[in-house]
Amino acid sequence: MGLTDNHDKRSIQARLKQVTHHNYLGDAVLGGIDGCVTTFAVVVGTLGGGFSAIVALALGLSNLLADGFSMAVSNYQSAKSLRDTIYRTRQMELEEIKTIPQGEREEIRQIYANKGFEGELLEKVVEVLTQDEERWVDVMVQEEYGLPLTVAHPIKPALVTFVSFGVVGIMPLIPFFFTLKSLHDRTPFYFSMVLAAFAFLMIGALKGWVLKMSIIKTALEILVSGGVAALLAYGISYWVQIHFGV
């Protein structure tokens, strides 16, 4: 469907009537990237420090669960705070509309005057918007405070973050489940690097596809970001091992 077809009267009406849902792509991508970076940084950190595969697996799993839970909780609290802020703002504006309606009408008037409305048209806009309290409050919440009208339930983005963190974050650890009998074998570390690189590329490609950006560009951006984090972890661990004999 072309741009013209998508902007005929019926298409526009149908699109505007659709309920706007929270986009969980950001939560999924952020969780996936952070999960992979967390566990892969542990893997290359243990490699740089000269530790065995069992140490990499133990630290990787513990960090995967702890950091995943921590990130999910942070996302939950952030979404909850925004939701509470919207609720409190709506209640405050509703009270002000009931108490000082003329003052609130003047706020509407000035908001739309700043958008270029004037004269009779401006007064008509003010009249229409202030006829219904819920619509009046919606305008104030969006225009005066810059807040969205609705947000997802806090538990949903938290769960998306936790699941994506775990699913992607476990990938660099998979090789270690098959080589625990050989504690000093470096092979799983190298396979882990391949899986981590694959995970970073897939997350970047997914981001590019959904956002209609260059898939190659976004994939490489995520890969480079993860690689830099891994190099930092390896470098610090190697430096500590060399200087302190850990």
Q: What is the pLDDT of residues 5-25, one digit of tens each?
A: 566 777 766 655 554 566 777
Its domain, for residue 224, covers 24-244
Question: What is the rounded distance in angstroms from the CA atom of residue 58 to the CA atom of residue 228?
Answer: 23
What mean pLDDT value characterizes the chain? Answer: 86
Distance CA 38, CA 170 (A): 10
Residue 17 lies in a domain: no
Cα 206 from Cα 209, distance rounded (Å): 5
> What is the distance between the alpha carbons of residues 134 and 221, in angstroms, rounded to a whole number?
44
Instruction: For residue 169, tell me if it sits in a domain.
Output: yes
- Does the residue 15 lie in any domain? no
Q: What is the pLDDT of residues 138-155, one digit of tens each?
A: 999 999 899 988 888 889
Q: Is residue 13 part of a domain?
A: no
pLDDT at 17: 58
Q: Which of 180, 177, 174, 187 is nearest to 47 (CA)?
A: 187
pTM: 0.76
What span, in angstroms and rounded, lies between the C-alpha atoms of 192 and 46?
Answer: 12
Total count of domains within the chain? 1
Band (pLDDT 50/70/90 cuts) for residue 180 is: low
User: Does the residue 6 lie in any domain?
Assistant: no
Query: What pLDDT is attached to residue 4?
Result: 55
| Residues whose CB falls within 8 Å of the CB of residue 129, separated by 6 or more in sequence, listed in order | 108, 135, 136, 139
2 inside domain = no
Q: Considering the domain boundaries, does residue 11 fall inside one?
A: no
pLDDT recorded at residue 55: 86
CA R_g for the chain: 26
Summarize the confidence of residues 179-198 as an average pLDDT. 79
More confident residue, 50 or 182: 50
Rounded-to-integer distance, Cα 219 and Cα 234, Å: 22
The type of residue at 165 is: F
Work out whether the CA dihedral 44, 45, 50, 53 comes out positive or negative: negative
**Is 3 inside a domain boundary?**
no
Q: Can you tell me the distance from the alpha carbon of 177 to that of 213, in angstroms, rounded to the nearest whole number? A: 36
pLDDT given at position 187: 84
